[in-house]
Amino acid sequence: MSSIAQKKGFGATIWDFMTTVDHKKIAILYLISGGFFFLVGGIEAMLIRIQLAKAGNDFLSAGLYNEIITMHGTTMIFLASMPLLLAFMNAIMPLQIGARDVAFPFLNSLGFWLFFFGGIFLNLSWFMGGAPDAGWTNYASLALASEGHGIDFYTLGLTISGFGTLIAGINFLVTIINMRAPGMTYMRMPLFTWTTFVASALILLAFPPLTVGLFFMIFDRLFNSSFFVVEMGGNTIIWEHLFWIFGHPEVYILILPAFGIFSEIFAIFSRKRLFGYTALVFATILIGFYGFMVWAHHMFTVGLGPTANAVFALATMIIAVPTGIKIFNWLLTIWGGSISFTVPMIYAVAFIPSFVAGGVTGVMQAIAPLDYQLHDSYFIVAHFHYVIVGGVVLGILAGTHLYWPKMFGTMLSEKLGKWTFWFFFIGFHLTFFIQHFLGLMGMPRRVYTFGADQGWDLFNAISSAGAVFMAIGVIILLVNVVMTTIKNERVGNDPWGDGRTLEWAIPSPPPFYNFAQTPLVRGLDTFWIEKMDGNKKGMIFAEPLGDIHMPNNSIIPFVISLGMFIASFGALYFLDGDKPWALAVLIIGLLITFGSMLVRSLKDDLGFYITKEELLEDAKGGKTDGH
C-alpha cells in the first residue's frame, strides 16, 4: 500500500484529494480553501477601504457596498478564519496526541466537503442575482425586507457549512477523549490540543442556536412563517439573541486555537516549558465557559433594561481575568528563555501588544453605559479587528509558517516571511488604530459613505492607506508559498530544532499512517523529554511493530455534500413560485444526499491493513527517519 502514495498524475491527485479520509490531506484541503476565501474576503476589504478613502466617494453604490461588507464579514469568519484553524487542528492535533488519525475519518471528510460546498454556494450569490446585504449579523427585520435571493444564499449556505463545522467539532472531541496515546493524560496534552478541545466543545454547543435561528429565517423567507414578522406577532429580537448566543462563543472558537498556536510557539522558540501550564489550561476552560454567558453585551443598546445590561456587563468584565492570566503566563514563558526570532516567533511576539490593545477596548465596551456611545460606531470596528486580526489572523499566519514544514516537508522562506510580517503588522495598526478615534468622533459603522463636513476625512484616508500595506504583505506571502513550493528543499523531523511535542518526532510530512508504533508519553513536552534524555529516536514506543488497520478512501462524503448543494438551489428557487423545475432540483439533490447515505450504511467498508513488512520497508527507505 505504501507505494501507492508515490508518483501520480494530476487527475489521480485530484481524485485522491476528493476521496481522502486522511486528516493530513483534509488539513491541506482546509488550508487551500480557507486560504482562497481569505483572499476573497481580503479583496472585499480592499474595496471597502477604497470606497471610504475619501468623503462622498462613489466608487461603490450603496447597495453593493452593503453586499460587500456582509460578504467580507461572513467570509472572513465562517469561510476563512475557521477553516484555516481547522486546517491546523486537523494537521497537528492527532499528531500531538500520538493518534493514527481522527476518530471518524469518514466524517472528517464529510465535514470538509459540507463546509466547502456551503462556502461555494454562499459566494455564488455574487453571480446569481446579488449577495446578502444585511450584514454578517443578518438582523431579522432588515434581512426579511431584503429583496432578491441574497439572504437565502446566506441562510442556506451557512446551514450547510455549519453542519460541516459541527461535524468537525464532534470529531475532534471524540478524538481527543478516546485516541490519546498511552501516557498522554489530559494534563500532559499540548496547549494546542487543549484549545482545540475547548474550541470543539464550543462548536458543539454554539452552532445549534445558529442553526435554529437560520431555520427560523429560512422558514420565514421561503415558507411564509412569522417567527420574525412583527406585524404577525413575531419578534426580531429573538434573532439577535440566537445569533449572539452563537456569535460570542464563535469569537472564542476562533481565538482559542490561535492562543494554542501561540502557546506552542512561545515554548518552542524560547526553548522553555510553558510557564504555568495548569493555569493556561484552566484559563482556556474558563474563557470557553464564560463565553456562553456574555452574549447580550452585543445587545446593550437593544433596550433589554438596566438589570440585564448590568449583569452582562459584569459577566463580560470577568473574562478579562483568565485572558490576563494567559498573557502574563506567556510573558513569563519567554522570560528567562532563549528567544529565537524566527517568523512564527515574531508573529507571536507581535500578537501580545496587539491583542492586549484589543482586549482593553473590550473591557471598555463591557461598561454598558459607555458602550451606548461605542456600540455600532467605528470604535467597535477597531476593537473586533484588533482581536480578530491581531489575535486570530496573526495566529493563523504564525501557524502557517510554523506548521508549513510539518504539512508539506519544506520551509517557507524566513526572509520573505519577515517582509510579509512587517507590511502586514504595520498596515494592520495603521488601518485599525485610528478607527477607535473615528468611532469616538461619532462615525457609525456600516456606512457606505460619509459627508466631508464631519471631521472624518483624514483618519479614513490613513486607514485606507494602511489597508494597502496589509495587502502587500499578503501578496508577498503568496510569492513565498510559490517560491517555496518550486524550490522544494526537504526538511527533517524537527526543522525548527527546538520542537517539544510529538508532531516534531516524526517525518515532515508524516507517513499516511502517522506513527508506525504508537508512542508512550512520559510527560508534558514528550519529544523534549526524550531529546533531553538523549533518545535518538525521539520517542519510546508503547507497542511492538505490527499491522496497522486503515480506513479506505471514499467519494461518498463529496457526493453527500454535493447533493445538499444541489438541493439548496432547489429550495432557493422553489418559492419564487414561477419555477416549477426548482422542486425537481430540490428532490434530486435530497435523493443524492440520502441515497449516498444509504449506500454508506448498507455497504460494509472494512478498510485495509498495512502489514508489518510494508512498514519495515518504508522505514528502510529512510522515510521514517529523516533526521
Interface positions, 427-456, toward other proteins (CB under 8 A): 437, 440-442, 444-451, 453-456
CB 220 within 8 A of CB 151: no
The only residue of 372, 581, 608, 609 in contact with other proteins, by rule CB under 8 A = 372
> Which of these segments, 214-222, 351-359, 551-559, 577-585, binds other proteins (CB under 8 A)?
351-359
Nearest to 297 by CA among 284, 311, 283, 285: 311
Residues 6 or more apart whose Cβ sits within 8 Å of residue 596: 556, 559, 560, 563
In this chain, which of 9, 336, 534, 544 binds other proteins, going by CB under 8 A?
Answer: 336
What b/e string do you get for 237-270 counting C-beta neighbours within 10 Å, with b at 16 or more? Answer: eebbbbbbbbbbbbbbbbbbbbbbbbbbbbbbbb
Rounded Cα–Cα distance for residues 400 and 85 (Å): 10
Per CB under 8 A, the segment of 33-41, 116-124, 365-373, 391-399 that binds other proteins is 365-373
Q: What own/partner pairs with CB < 8 Å and gap ≥ 24 does 18-21 have?
A: 18/555, 18/558, 19/109, 19/553, 19/554, 19/555, 19/558, 20/109, 20/553, 21/101, 21/105, 21/106, 21/108, 21/109, 21/551, 21/552, 21/553, 21/554, 21/557
378 binds other proteins (CB under 8 A): no
- Point out which span in 73-81, 205-213, 319-327, 575-583 binds other proteins (CB under 8 A): 319-327
Residue 468 near other proteins by CB under 8 A: no
Which pairs with CB-CB distance under 8 Å and at least 24 residues apart come from 556-559?
556/106, 556/596, 556/599, 556/600, 557/21, 557/106, 557/107, 557/109, 557/110, 557/112, 557/113, 558/18, 558/19, 558/109, 558/113, 559/592, 559/593, 559/596
CB of 477 to other proteins, least distance (A): 24
Select the residue interacting with other proteins from 18, 32, 352, 590 (CB under 8 A). Answer: 352
10, burial (CB in 10 Å: exposed 0-12, middle 13-18, buried 19+)? exposed
Neighbour count for residue 372 (Cβ, 10 Å): 12
- The footprint of other proteins on residues 518-537 (CB under 8 A) is 532
Residues 92, 349, 502, 582: which binds other proteins (CB under 8 A)?
Answer: 349
String marking each residue 278-317 x if it binds other proteins according to CB under 8 A? xx---------------------xxx-xx--xx--xx--x
Nearest in space to 121 (alpha carbons), one of 171, 164, 82, 85: 164
Residue 442: CB partners within 8 Å, gap ≥ 6?
Answer: 377, 454
Range 240-279, binding other proteins (CB under 8 A): 270-273, 275-279
- Asked if residues 263 and 175 have their Cβ atoms less than 8 Å apart, the reply is no
**Nearer Cβ to other proteins (442/607):** 442
Chain positions 86 to 145 lying near other proteins, rule: CB under 8 A, are 133-135, 139, 141-142, 145
621 binds other proteins (CB under 8 A): no
- Number of residues that make up the chain: 627
CB closer to other proteins, 17 vs 384: 384
- The single residue among 14, 177, 321, 478 that binds other proteins, judged by CB under 8 A, is 321
**Residue among 18, 39, 320, 540 that touches other proteins (CB under 8 A):** 320
* Among the listed residues 177, 360, 545, 599, the single contact to other proteins using CB under 8 A: 360
CA distance 63 to 25: 40
Give me the least distance between CB of 456 and other proteins, in Å please: 8
Site for other proteins contains 337 (CB under 8 A): yes
Q: How far is the CB of 524 from other proteins (least distance, A)?
A: 9
Among 2, 226, 340, 517, binds other proteins (CB under 8 A): 340
Task: Give the nearer residue to other proteins in terms of CB position, either 245 or 283.
Answer: 283
327 sits near other proteins (criterion: CB under 8 A): yes
**Angle between the N-to-C axes of helices 236-270 and 394-408, in degrees from 0 to 180, rounded to the nearest 10:** 60
> Collapsing DSSP states into helix, strand and coil, what is residue 228?
coil
CB of 172 to other proteins, least distance (A): 27
Which one of the spans 191-199, 207-215, 362-370, 460-468 is the region binding other proteins (CB under 8 A)?
362-370
Q: How far is the CB of 473 from other proteins (least distance, A)?
A: 21
Which of 19, 57, 226, 373 lies at the binding interface for other proteins (CB under 8 A)? 373
**Stretch 53-82 residues interacting with other proteins (CB under 8 A):** 61-63, 66
- Binding-site size for other proteins (CB under 8 A) equals 89
- We find the least distance from the C-beta atom of residue 385 to other proteins, in angstroms, to be 17
Window 134 to 173, contacts with other proteins (CB under 8 A): 134-135, 139, 141-142, 145
Q: Rule CB under 8 A: is residue 182 a binding residue for other proteins?
A: no
Q: What does the block give as the cell for 200? A: 470543539
Q: Which is nearer to other proteins, 5 or 314 (CB)?
A: 314
Q: Does 371 bind other proteins (CB under 8 A)?
A: yes
Query: How far, in Å, CA of 343 to CA of 415, rounded?
Result: 8
Measured between alpha carbons, how far is 465 from 463 in angstroms, rounded to an integer?
A: 5
Q: Nearest distance from residue 453's CB to other proteins, in Å?
A: 7
